[in-house]
Amino acid sequence: AQSVTQLDSQVPVFEEAPVELRCNYSSSVSVYLFWYVQYPNQGLQLLLKYLSGSTLVESINGFEAEFNKSQTSFHLRKPSVHISDTAEYFCAVSDTRGGSQGNLIFGKGTKLSVKP
């Protein structure tokens, strides 16, 4: 079984500053990795995902995450945040074998608060 640990429950940051949201996972098999974002009073939306290939993946709004197999991490970064990035961010993992093992396991979330 997989598990996900998001090391920070809340991250306050000033606008235009860089940010890193940390995610570590545990698994005995190969995994897919995801970051989802939840804006207030909405459902979750996919931000980016790692399936295979390049270990650095990017989203359309400037976020990036790097898969580090040796450290079992998938940290999310943005070099300069905006007020509109204020949201809760969830890291998730799934087994590559699919079927019932392919269900997503979510971390507990990190609330990013961007201050002017």
Contact set with other proteins (CB under 8 A): 6, 9, 32, 34, 36, 42-46, 49, 51, 90, 94, 96, 98-100, 102-109
| The three-state (H, E, C) secondary structure of 71-116, written as one string | CCEEEEEECCCCHHHCEEEEEEEEECCCHHHHCCEECCCEEEEEEC
Least spacing, CB of residue 16 vs other proteins, in Å: 29
Name the residue nearer to other proteins (CB basis): 10 or 84: 10
Name the residue nearer to other proteins (CB basis): 80 or 101: 101
Instruction: Provide CB contacts within 8 A for 100, sequence distance 6+.
Output: none
Name the residue nearer to other proteins (CB basis): 2 or 15: 2
